[in-house]
């Protein structure tokens, strides 16, 4: 019985002119989005790779120079764009692409692509993710709002039920038939997406295919939940018009209102520190120690005394190496602790904000999906943090090698002396290894849990509502 109803609904959907138009529009938009995104991601990736090569040459060709000057000349590293940005650009336009690595300081990633774009960017981006998050639910809505309420209004529901069809079978049949119609619409999108990923050069890093599969799962959960909610509303509404009104308002609340409202409200609950205060606190901690009672000069004096004692000397000039180099190493180590603490706190705060927004997905499922989708695509904040940490590790290695050179290659008590250009070769180029899919899954878990809850609860609700289907 269910199969027969499903088949009828499936055919009905495809014969419906409105659904066909909506399907064509959505498919075309998703196709355009994928194509354009593929092109943009490919271009951005090769641009950043080219810049990285050029910067490496700049580093190697800096000629004869004092090693500490080289530390101030520094290195720029560029963030490679995750391949799955083809589907979901996430926060990529709003985080820096470039980190300047230099002695003494940990810098934030600078140059947000959105700063180099028109204000149109603020309307959101046309990506496959946006299409599936915002437009696909509208297609479902269009497909389902009249499915039960419309039949009730026309009186056909009474006829069908009078034939002895169990209401539960009718509802499930409709759900399956409409779901199948939707699946035939979205399957080409998935295939197109797979093709886009497969043809993108060097797209395998970070477990792209595992991420892709989980992303597919997240979207299926989301759309399945929406299908069930829409059918349940249609089952309960007295007229198709009432069902349409309720569903349109819910859609707007979920798709338009919720993302902004949640992102705004979380700033009131967990405020982001001000840049001035953040930097002041960090600079103070560099000078006076993390606890504020341990001035830098005093610590370095103690350090000097300990070093002399260790080597059994009384004067710094007697040490077998350049003591300034050792001081540089030690102060980098001390500053590193401060940076880890303060940046760690800031980033934890941003992650906590994102997590709160994700859990707000229990009210508006889009928030859960967005978070899961970005995490799996590798374009969420946890991935940006992973990159920032990797860049900072590279900075510390690079400064350490330079300081060790100063310590061992120039005589005591001087900053002077020049390093051999072969030293530049000793510093490896920055190679960023994106985190494995396990990282993405961990980051996506809250969002996936939200979606799973939505899907389960929505389908249970549909099954609860179904037997109570009223013929009029």
Partner 1 sequence: MTSHLFKLELRLLARERVAWVMLVLFAAALGYGLWNGGRLAGQQREIAVAISKDKESFHAQLREYLGRQSLDPKAVAGQGTMAVLPPAPLPLLATGQSDLSPGHESVVLWKLAAPADTRSELENPSHLLAGRFDFAFVLVWLFPLFLLAMVYDLMAGDRESGTLRLALAQGVAPMQWLLRRALARALPILALAALATLVAGMFGSPGGTTLRLTLALAVVLAYGLFWVALAVAVNVVARSAASAATSLGAAWVLLVLVAPTLLNVSVETLYPTPSRPELVAAGRKASGEAEKRGGDLLNSFYRDHPELAPPGQQADFAAQHLTVQGEVGRAVEPVRQKFDAQLAQQQTAVGRWRFVSPAIAAHEALTDLAGTGYWRYRAFREQVNAFKQTVADFYTPKIHRREPLTMADYERLPRFSFREEPAGDWLERAAVGLAGMLVLTGALGLWAWRRLRPSRLEPLSN
List alpha helices for 313-409, DSSP H. 323-359, 365-377, 381-409
User: Closest distance between partner 1 and the C-beta of residue 238, in Å?
Assistant: 14
User: Closest distance between partner 1 and the C-beta of residue 128, in Å?
Assistant: 12
Closest to partner 1 by CB, 382 or 410: 382
| Whether the Cβ atoms of residue 147 and residue 16 lie closer than 8 Å to each other | no
User: Closest distance between partner 1 and the C-beta of residue 172, in Å?
Assistant: 26
User: Closest distance between partner 1 and the C-beta of residue 257, in Å?
Assistant: 8
Closest to partner 1 by CB, 50 or 191: 50
Closest to partner 1 by CB, 46 or 408: 46
User: Closest distance between partner 1 and the C-beta of residue 48, in Å?
Assistant: 5
User: Closest distance between partner 1 and the C-beta of residue 273, in Å?
Assistant: 6
Nearest-angstrom CA–CA distance, 155 and 286: 77
Nearest-angstrom CA–CA distance, 236 and 72: 69
What is the three-class DSSP state of 322?
coil
Nearest-angstrom CA–CA distance, 104 and 403: 11
Closest to partner 1 by CB, 430 or 459: 430
User: Closest distance between partner 1 and the C-beta of residue 370, in Å?
Assistant: 9
User: Closest distance between partner 1 and the C-beta of residue 148, in Å?
Assistant: 15
Best CA proximity match to 105, nearest among 338, 327, 273: 338
Closest to partner 1 by CB, 9 or 380: 380
Cα 132-134-139 angle, rounded to 5 deg: 75
Nearest-angstrom CA–CA distance, 336 and 85: 32
Closest to partner 1 by CB, 211 or 383: 383
Contact partners, residue 359, CB within 8 Å, separation at least 6: 446, 450
Best CA proximity match to 35, nearest among 77, 73, 87, 103: 87
Burial of residue 354 (number of CB atoms within 10 Å: 0-12, 13-18, 19+): buried
| Whether the Cβ atoms of residue 101 and residue 77 lie closer than 8 Å to each other | yes
Closest to partner 1 by CB, 121 or 168: 121
Closest to partner 1 by CB, 219 or 381: 381
E strand segments, 75-164: 75-78, 98-101
Nearest-angstrom CA–CA distance, 89 and 111: 16
User: Closest distance between partner 1 and the C-beta of residue 123, in Å?
Assistant: 4
User: Closest distance between partner 1 and the C-beta of residue 464, in Å?
Assistant: 27
- Write out the DSSP string of 240-300: HHHHHHHHHHHHHIIIIIHHHHHHHHHHHHSPPPPHHHHHHHHHHHHHH-TTSSS-HHHHH
Closest to partner 1 by CB, 2 or 196: 196
Best CA proximity match to 423, nearest among 53, 52, 64, 56: 64
For the four alpha carbons of 29, 31, 36 and 37, in that order, the dihedral sign comes to: positive
Closest to partner 1 by CB, 104 or 468: 104
């Amino acid at each position: 019985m269910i199969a027969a109803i499903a088949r009828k609904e499936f055919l009905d959907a495809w014969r419906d002119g409105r659904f066909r138009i909506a399907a064509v529009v959505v498919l075309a938009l998703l196709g355009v989005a994928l194509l354009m995104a593929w092109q943009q991601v490919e271009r951005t990736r090769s641009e950043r790779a080219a810049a990285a090569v050029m910067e490496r040459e700049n580093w190697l060709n800096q000629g004869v120079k004092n090693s500490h000057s080289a530390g101030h000349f520094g290195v720029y590293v560029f963030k490679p764009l995750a391949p799955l940005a083809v589907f979901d650009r996430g926060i990529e336009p709003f985080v820096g692409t470039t980190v300047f690595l230099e002695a003494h300081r940990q810098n934030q990633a600078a140059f947000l692509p959105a700063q180099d774009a028109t204000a149109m960017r603020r309307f959101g981006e046309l990506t496959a993710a946006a299409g599936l998050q915002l437009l696909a639910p509208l297609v479902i809505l269009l497909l389902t709002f009249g499915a039960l309420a419309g039949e009730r209004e026309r009186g056909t529901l009474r006829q069908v039920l009078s034939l002895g069809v169990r209401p539960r079978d009718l509802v499930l049949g409709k759900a399956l038939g409409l779901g199948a119609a939707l699946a035939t619409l979205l399957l080409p999108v998935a295939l197109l997406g797979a093709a886009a990923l497969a043809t993108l050069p060097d797209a395998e890093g970070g477990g792209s295919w595992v991420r892709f599969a989980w992303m597919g799962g997240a979207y299926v959960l989301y759309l399945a939940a929406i299908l069930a909610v829409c059918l349940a509303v249609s089952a309960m509404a007295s007229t198709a018009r009432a069902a349409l009104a309720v569903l349109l308002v819910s859609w707007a609340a979920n798709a338009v209102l919720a993302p902004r409202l949640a992102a705004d409200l979380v700033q009131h609950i967990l405020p982001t520190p001000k840049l001035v205060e953040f930097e002041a606190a960090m600079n103070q901690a560099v000078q006076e120690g993390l606890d504020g009672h341990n001035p830098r000069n005093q610590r370095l004096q103690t350090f000097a005394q300990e070093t002399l004692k260790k080597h059994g000397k009384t004067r710094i000039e007697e040490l077998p190496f350049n003591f300034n180099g050792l001081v540089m190493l030690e102060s980098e180590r001390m500053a590193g602790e401060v940076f880890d603490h303060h940046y760690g706190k800031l980033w934890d705060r941003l992650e906590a904000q994102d997590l709160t927004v994700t859990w707000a997905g229990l009210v508006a499922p889009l928030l859960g999906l967005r978070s899961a989708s970005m995490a799996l695509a590798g374009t969420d904040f946890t991935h940006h943090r992973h990159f920032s940490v990797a860049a900072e590790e590279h900075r510390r290695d690079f400064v350490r090698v330079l300081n060790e050179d100063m310590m061992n290659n120039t005589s005591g008590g001087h900053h002077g002396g020049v390093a051999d250009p072969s030293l530049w070769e000793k510093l490896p180029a920055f190679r960023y290894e994106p985190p494995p899919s396990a990282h993405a899954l961990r980051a996506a878990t809250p969002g996936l849990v939200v979606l799973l809850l939505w899907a389960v609860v929505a389908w249970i609700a549909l099954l609860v509502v179904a037997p109570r289907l009223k013929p009029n």
